[in-house]
Amino acid sequence: MQPTNNLDQVIGKMLDTVSESKEQIFNISEQSRAEYQTLEEELRAVRIRVNEVIDKVDTNENKAKLARNRLAQVSREFQNFSNEEVRKAYEDANEYQVTLAVLQQEEEQLRSRRDRIERRLLNLEETIDRAESLVGQVSVVQNFLTGDLQKVGEIVADAEEKQAFGLKIIEAQEEERKRVARDIHDGPAQMLANVLLRSELVERVYQEEGIQQALAEIRDVRGMVKTSLAEVRRIIYDLRPMALDDLGLVPTLRKYLQNLNENTDLSLRFSNYGDEKRLPPNFEVGLFRLVQEAVQNALKHAEPTDIHVKIEMRPQHINMIIQDNGKGFDQENKRDDSFGLIGMRERVQNLKGELDIQSASNQGTKIIIRVPLNE
């Protein structure tokens, strides 16, 4: 018992150290982000000031040049000018020269300051990226220390496969958490902040501009809330729609498209041909994700007014067509590294199916998926 207790104590200390290190790395990352934002604002102000000083330098260079020419003329034709005119020509030339020197020195200092800020921003960017990477790696270590690796060891025979398997799962979890956090931050969180700000303006608008303008403001706020709700629903569906486990593929697709139809100005139609039979869970999840990816790609990039999803279940295979009337794309020039297309092709390959994409500029897009059910 004593060796086991000692081992538990060692692991406990390691976990404490790892947790503390992870917290410190996170704090460094947050401090770097805050400093990065401050420096970005300072850089914008410096750049504006540099442009202003450059304009002043150009203007004063012209004035100084004219003043020097005037002084040269007075010097050559001294007898033709009064003492006051000579004195003024000399003072003007000297004043413009001094002003120009001061402005040139300020320009040099501002340029140097701008360059220092830009270098500091690059260093902070590297620090932030490295900190995020380290947090993920520390999380991997933490999960290995706290997780029960015995069951994984029973499935994966040798140590190298076990390590690769565990790392892949944990990294995928970390990436998914990061994606969800980013979606919430960039979507509903920002929208709700805007809703709060706009709602505070309604009373002021009512007092200053009247009831009609206040009602218009409320309508705008309602639209923002509607958009935020649609985004929250999208994130929930991205995680996993519960109806998929309870009802199956066809009812879930119908409900998914119905929700999108209610929260957008588009026409989203769904047609099912054949029985609404249940499929193996991996087929239902994979097919649902394929439709979801195709629809989201259309909404983000194609600017369609109509999307039609068709599904046909046959005894030996299942056919799906996702068609939109958006702007389409030139398939000869399409990006092979498109994340959406890569994800869809990988899912179809995992299901031993076939994927065909038909599209042309300003002629919409038609995606045809055929998956065998006897595999």
Residue 22 has pLDDT above 80, yes or no: no
Provide φ and ψ at 80, rounded to 5°.
-90, 0
Given 147, 180, 205, the domain boundary residue is: 147
Q: pLDDT class for 324, splitting at 50, 70, 90?
A: very high
Query: What residues have CB less than 8 Å from 69, skipping those under 6 apart?
Result: none
DSSP string, 261-300: HHTSSSEEEEEEES------HHHHHHHHHHHHHHHHHIII
Rg (CA), the chain: 33
Of the given ranges (52-66, 83-97, 331-345), which has the lowest mean pLDDT? 331-345
Residue 223 lies in a domain: no
C-alpha–C-alpha distance, residues 239 and 34, integer Å: 30
Tell me, yes or no, whether 154 lies in a domain.
no
Percent above pLDDT 70 for the chain: 77
pLDDT above 90 as % of the chain: 10
Q: How far apart are CA 198 and CA 193, in angstroms?
A: 9
Write the DSSP symbol of residue 80. G
- Is the pLDDT at 1 greater than 50? The verdict is no
Question: 78 with 142: CB under 8 angstroms?
Answer: no
Q: How many domains, in total, are found in the chain?
A: 2
Highest mean pLDDT among 149-153, 229-233, 321-325: 321-325
Together in a domain, 141 and 255: no
Instruction: Tell me the pairing of strands 306-313 and 267-273.
Output: parallel
Report the alpha-carbon distance of residue 191 to residue 220 in Å, rounded.
12
Closest CA to 189 of 228, 233, 218, 219: 228
Please name which of 320, 319, 332 lies closest in space to residue 359, comparing C-alpha atoms. Answer: 332
pLDDT surpassing 70 at residue 167: no
pLDDT above 60 (res 159): no
Please name which of 9, 24, 30 lies closest in space to residue 138, comparing C-alpha atoms: 24
Amino acid found at 290: L
User: Is residue 297, in this structure, part of any structural domain at all?
Assistant: yes
- Is residue 213 in a domain? no
Query: Collapsing DSSP states into helix, strand and coil, what is residue 111?
Result: helix
CA distance 279 to 287: 10
Q: Is residue 143 part of a domain?
A: yes
Comparison of pLDDT for 160 and 38, the residue scoring more: 38
Report whether pLDDT(148) > 50.
Answer: no
Residues whose CB is less than 8 angstroms from the CB of residue 54 and which lie 6 or more positions away in sequence, other chains included: 107
Residue 12 lies in a domain: yes
Tens of pLDDT along 109-121? Answer: 888 888 888 888 8
> Coil, helix or strand for 329?
coil
Last residue within a domain, chosen from 87, 121, 147: 147
Q: Are both 139 and 17 inside the same structural domain?
A: yes
Check pLDDT > 80 for residue 365: yes
Residue 363 is predicted with a pLDDT of 86
Tell me the residue type at 371.
V
Neighbours of 158 (CB within 10 A): 8
Tokens of 305: 């007014």
Structural domain contains residue 230:
no
Residues 40, 163: contact at Cβ < 8 Å? no
The DSSP bridge partners found for residue 354 are 370
Ordered strands of the 317-324 beta sheet? 267-273, 306-313, 317-324, 365-372, 354-359
* CATH number of residue 86's parent domain: 1.10.287.950
Residue 3 CA to residue 127 CA, distance in Å, equals: 41
CATH number at residue 340: 3.30.565.10
Helix (H, G, I), strand (E, B) or coil at 323: strand
> Residue 214: pLDDT above 80?
no
**Residue 239 placed within a domain:** no
Residues 281-312: pLDDT tens digits?
888 888 998 998 899 888 888 889 999 999 99
How far, in Å, CA of 167 to CA of 156, rounded?
Answer: 13
Query: Containing domain of residue 345, as a range?
Result: 245-375
Average model confidence (pLDDT) for the chain?
Answer: 78
Domain final residue, candidates 147, 166, 183 = 147
Question: Sorting pLDDT into bands at 50, 70 and 90, what band is 218?
Answer: confident
